[in-house]
């Protein structure tokens, strides 16, 4: 054996040992978390019959408003009632603009009644007239706080709408308020020291994901008709997965990131970040994306019909990455049911793949996310390792404005691959090579089915023991490709499970078409507490 082969063998053995130790720690941790949280979950009320409009797709709600079957005011009032009914148990909604929303709803209803524009003209010019939506507290809404969960920003007020919010409001949609996020949106449990922790509507002892966790939670609980989130490492798709809804991360550079905080610090990290829709119904994704993409929607060819029977399907059941949990058997079974459905209903024979470089998803994402500036400067007044360690001590005694995971992230920023180093450049080449492999595989008519996450929603704080499980989503951000999280029902514990559908750059319509097909076949969103 050559020296390199020996070194690789030793490294592989080291990772196997670390992985085995990690699995033991996770198993022990799961036991103690289950004892601590028990089996009791706070119950949220079911949606009352009088508010059945909350169960409808956004496109249906918009149509009913245009046709005067229901008023925008009635829809807004239903959302307000629902938010008030569920938020004490879930803590997902953090700031409202209810009075302004009702004023805008009355204006929308007046426009419909006036007959100034025909129903067809309203549909074309203001496709979401009177439809209420929400967004996460890192996407700017004029007049509301813009904290991103950072205590240092608790008094920051946005002076204008983010571009995505502006476009949606221009389409007639009405913003209701903001939902919760983790500190600086850099963790996959939504908890911060301004608004606290958000809880899963299917089981309040479990997480909602992050960083669009509050939004995913509110959508699952039917608190608004649709929502928008942002995704730099899985921040739309993981909350969509944990909360049993649909979420779409668009192709890079198609939906503007303007008004998102933190601001991407390089062209590369900007290409990782995507603002996209989060909905209970797959049918809403395409028309919402069309609005949010603005002038760039034409490059996505969203109006071009997709024949699912002609789509090439590839899939991979696991990335087998070290320090990442094995994929839960029920998620694997769900994937296999999808493969069987596509074969039986559309005569599509899915091709299984084993893309080995997906094992390096986490180090690839961490390395290529590196920038010149340190993470700590965005969450702390002072900097340096000493300052971080002091703040960690203060956190342990309940005297810090920062979360432990935020401080730990700041500390790890001093390690890893230095920005601009030869190893950093190596990872850039690996990323480019992997992207090219995906482009060749997917072509213009292919989709890749892949787990969104290896496990259903863990207990609160449990992600600390499973930190690298976001590997299934973060790698897609590195590639800049579109991906849609698709719910596939609930597992034996009553927790949502699902997969993600990935396509080549600017082929979002393929993801969305497959998502709609799977939504019809497997039922899509399931109302919490009513399963």
Residues with catalytic annotation? 136, 211, 235
Please report the beta strands in 330-392, taking only residues with DSSP state E, as ranges in sequence order.
351-352
Q: Are 221 and 44 in contact (CB under 8 A)?
A: yes
DSSP letter assigned to residue 44:
P
Sign of the C-alpha dihedral computed for residues 223, 224, 227 and 229 taken in this order: negative
d(CA 20, CA 11): 14
Task: Give DSSP secondary structure letters for 276-343.
Answer: EEEESSGGGHHHHHHHHTGGGGGGGTTTS---GGG-EEEE-S----TTSPPPPHHHHHHHHHHHHHHH
Among 101, 187, 177, residue whose Cα is nearest residue 146: 177
Start-end of H helices in 91-196: 98-114, 119-125, 163-170
On the question of a cis peptide bond just before residue 527, with omega within 30 degrees of 0, the verdict is no
Report the DSSP beta bridge partners of residue 197.
Answer: 191
Residues written for the chain = 531
Q: Are 247 and 277 in contact (CB under 8 A)?
A: yes
Among 195, 238, 183, 148, residue whose Cα is nearest residue 471: 238
d(CA 29, CA 121): 58
d(CA 404, CA 394): 10
d(CA 507, CA 400): 45
Sign of the C-alpha dihedral computed for residues 192, 194, 196 and 200 taken in this order: negative
Report the DSSP beta bridge partners of residue 352.
Answer: 315
- C-alpha count within 13 angstroms, C-beta hemisphere, residue 148: 19
Query: What φ, ψ does residue 177 adopt, rounded to 5°?
Result: 160, -165
Could you tell me which residues come within 8 angstroms of residue 330 by beta carbon, excluding any fewer than 6 positions away? 456, 491, 492, 497
């Amino acid at each position: 054996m050559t020296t390199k082969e020996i070194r690789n063998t030793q490294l592989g053995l080291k990772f196997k040992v670390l992985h085995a130790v990690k699995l033991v720690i996770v198993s022990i941790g799961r036991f103690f978390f289950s004892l601590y949280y028990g089996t009791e979950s706070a119950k949220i009320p079911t949606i009352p019959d009088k508010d059945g409009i909350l169960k409808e797709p956004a496109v249906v709600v918009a149509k009913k408003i245009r046709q005067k079957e229901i008023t925008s005011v009635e829809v807004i009032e239903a959302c307000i009632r629902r938010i008030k009914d569920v938020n004490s148990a879930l803590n997902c909604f953090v700031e409202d603009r209810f009075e302004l929303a009702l004023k805008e709803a009355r204006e929308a209803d007046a426009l419909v009644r006036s007959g100034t524009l025909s129903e067809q003209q309203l549909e074309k010019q203001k496709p979401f007239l009177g439809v209420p939506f929400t967004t996460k507290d890192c996407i700017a809404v004029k007049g509301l706080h813009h904290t991103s969960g950072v205590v240092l920003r608790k008094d920051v007020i946005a002076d204008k709408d983010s571009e995505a919010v502006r476009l949606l409001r221009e389409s007639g949609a009405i913003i209701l308020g903001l939902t919760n996020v983790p500190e600086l949106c850099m963790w996959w449990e939504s908890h911060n020291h301004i608004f606290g922790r958000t809880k899963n509507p299917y089981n309040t002892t479990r997480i909602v994901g992050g960083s669009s966790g509050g939004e995913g939670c509110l959508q699952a609980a039917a608190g608004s008709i649709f929502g928008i989130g942002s995704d730099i490492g899985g921040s739309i798709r993981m909350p969509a997965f944990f909360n049993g809804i649909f979420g779409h991360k668009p192709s890079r550079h198609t939906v503007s990131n303007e008004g998102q905080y933190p601001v991407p610090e390089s062209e590369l990290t900007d290409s990782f970040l995507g603002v996209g829709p989060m909905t209970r119904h797959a049918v809403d994704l395409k028309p919402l994306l069309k609005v949010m993409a603005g002038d760039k929607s034409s490059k996505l060819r969203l109006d071009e019909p997709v024949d699912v029977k002609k789509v090439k399907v590839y899939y991979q059941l696991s990335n087998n990455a070290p320090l990442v949990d094995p994929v839960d058997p029920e998620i694997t079974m769900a994937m296999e049911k999808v493969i069987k459905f596509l074969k039986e209903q559309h005569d599509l024979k899915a091709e299984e793949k084993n893309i080995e470089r997906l094992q390096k998803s986490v180090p690839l994402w961490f390395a290529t996310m590196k920038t010149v500036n340190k993470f700590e400067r965005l969450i702390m007044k002072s900097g340096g390792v000493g300052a971080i360690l002091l703040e960690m001590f203060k956190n342990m005694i309940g005297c810090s404005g920062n979360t432990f995971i935020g401080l730990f992230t700041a500390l790890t920023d001093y390690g890893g691959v230095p920005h601009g180093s030869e190893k950093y450049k190596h990872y850039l080449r690996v990323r480019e090579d992997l992207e090219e492999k995906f482009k060749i595989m997917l072509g213009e008519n292919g989709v890749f089915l892949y787990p969104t996450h290896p496990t259903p929603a863990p207990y609160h704080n449990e992600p600390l023991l499973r930190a690298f499980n976001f590997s299934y989503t973060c790698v897609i951000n590195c590639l800049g490709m579109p991906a849609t999280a698709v719910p596939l029902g609930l597992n034996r514990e009553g927790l949502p499970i699902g997969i993600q559908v990935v396509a080549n750059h600017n082929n979002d319509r393929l993801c969305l078409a497959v998502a709609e097909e799977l939504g019809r076949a497997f039922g899509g969103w399931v109302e919490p507490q009513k399963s």
